[in-house]
Structure 1
Amino acid sequence: MAGNASSLKAVLFDRDGTLVVDVPYNGDPRKVQPFPAARKVLDDVRSRGLATGVLSNQSGIARGILTGRQVESVNARVEELLGPFDVWEVCPHAAEDGCSCRKPAPGMIRSACRRLGIDPTEAAFIGDIGSDIEAARAAGARGVLVPTPLTRAEEVAAAPEVAQDLAHAVAMLLADPL
């Protein structure tokens, strides 16, 4: 598990359901709606000199529902609304593809950390479903679950750390436990 706040060098975020309202298979940048406190939370993380990144499963690409270009345009809109991210990772595969990047596999977290020049133990990943937390655990990063009404009760029960919202999740990460 990742260390305390003093060893934290990056906060990575799931996109849909964590930073922005989840619109299934969204390929339309006009439908991007950030959660109310997301910009403030991200600005706080950035002001502390921590890297930020977004990691997102986008199986709609593999399923032919979305194009890579549509996902890029939605991601560009997220960045326009929430500020610049140091790293983006997108898994374009379907669950049945058996890739190493699709959460709950640790590939996107490991890749983001490699690109940032840090060890996964120096990163935290905030997400809204169990596979986000499983990916963090598998990579050796700290995982914080921010449940939504779609998060299953068993996912909440299994998560080592749960926060009521994005602001509280980041506050947990930035608190330096004794």
Structure 2
Amino acid sequence: PTLTPMSGNPIQHIILDRDGVINADSDQFIKNPDEWQPIEGSLEAIARLKQAGFLVGIASNQSGIARELFDFATLNAMHAKLQQYLAKLGAHVDMIAFCPHKSEDRCDCRKPLPGLYQQLAQRWNIELDGIPVIGDSLRDLEAARAVNACPILLLTGKGQKTREQVPESWHVPVYDNLSQAVDHLLEDASC
């Protein structure tokens, strides 16, 4: 069943990666709220999604926890900073799913496995077919393809390098940043 908000439009869903999509990324990890800095225009893009009736989820690998670079409380503080910034724009993120594991932990939630996306889908009680998933790394796109979602690549974060790794046969839309991708989605409503 399709949910319909008060506006009368069906609720749409979108899944975003965090580091390199919403905020600046670092090869040394984003380890505390001071290092968490939004990419120009990304918060306003999320606000536009919310104004258009989207439910916004984040799916983020956060192996810095398993590597003991930061703890759950610090991760929560980073996400609180994100929500505070968005609140000033009249917006919020509806759900954040994260994987605290390293690749050698063999979990099912670390992208490129689709566990984080499946957690969001289960919480929202939806199928992921055609849901836009926006990321900057190949593993974001691989996880999206694994659940028949619609992968979208941004050139922020690791996106420039990732662009060279994506097979042309995948036909992945590429945008300079989250703002540009959201402009397209709100104009066209298709991946």
The alpha-carbon deviation at position 89 of structure 1 amounts to 0.3
Deviation at residue 156 of structure 1 after TM alignment: 4.5
State the partner residue of 2:179.
167
Deviation at 1:31, TM superposition (A): 2.1
Q: What's the secondary structure of 2:15's corresponding residue? A: strand
| Distance of 1:154 and 1:7 partners within structure 2 | 36
Partner-residue secondary structure (3-state), 1:105: coil
Q: Is 2:44 the partner of 1:40?
A: yes
Deviates more, 1:16-25 or 1:52-61: 16-25
Distance 1:8 1:136, change over 3 A: farther
Q: Is the 8 A contact 1:103 1:131 kept in 2?
A: yes
**Paired residue for 2:164, among 150, 154, 163?**
154
2:66/2:101 contact within 8 Å kept = yes
* Higher RCO (CA < 8 A, seq sep 6+): 1
Question: Greater Rg, structure 1 or structure 2?
Answer: 2
The structure richer in helix per residue is 1
How far, CA to CA, are the matches of 2:152 and 2:144 in structure 1?
9
Report the RMSD for the aligned CA atoms in angstroms: 2.1
Q: Is the 8 A contact 2:13 2:55 kept in 1?
A: yes
Name the CA distance, whole Å, in 2 between partners of 1:81 and 1:60: 23
Q: Contact conserved, 2:130 with 2:149, CA < 8 A, in 1?
A: yes
Larger CA deviation: 143-152 vs 32-41: 143-152
Q: Do residues 49 (structure 1) and 53 (structure 2) align? A: yes
Who is 1:3 aligned against?
none
Whether the 8 Å contact between 1:27 and 1:73 is mirrored in structure 2 is: no
1:14 and 2:22 are equivalent in the alignment = no
Q: Give the drift of 1:172.
A: 3.0
1:155, distance to aligned residue in structure 2 (A): 2.8
Does the C-alpha gap of structure 1 residues 109 and 33 become closer, same or farther in structure 2, counting only changes over 3 Å?
A: same
Q: How far apart are the structure 2 equivalents of 1:114 and 1:171?
A: 27
Give per-residue Cα distances to partners, 1:108-137, cap 9 Å, x unaligned.
011111111221125211111111111111
Structure 2 residue 78 is the aligned partner of structure 1 residue 74: yes
Deviates more, 1:65-74 or 1:102-111: 65-74
Gaps of 5+ in 1: 1-5
Cα drift, residue 157 of structure 1: 4.7
Structure 2: which amino acid aligns with 1:98? Answer: R
Deviates more, 1:145-154 or 1:108-117: 145-154
Query: For residue 35 of structure 2, what is the aligned residue in structure 1?
Result: 31
- TM-score, structure 1 as length reference: 0.87
Aligned residue for 1:144?
Answer: 152
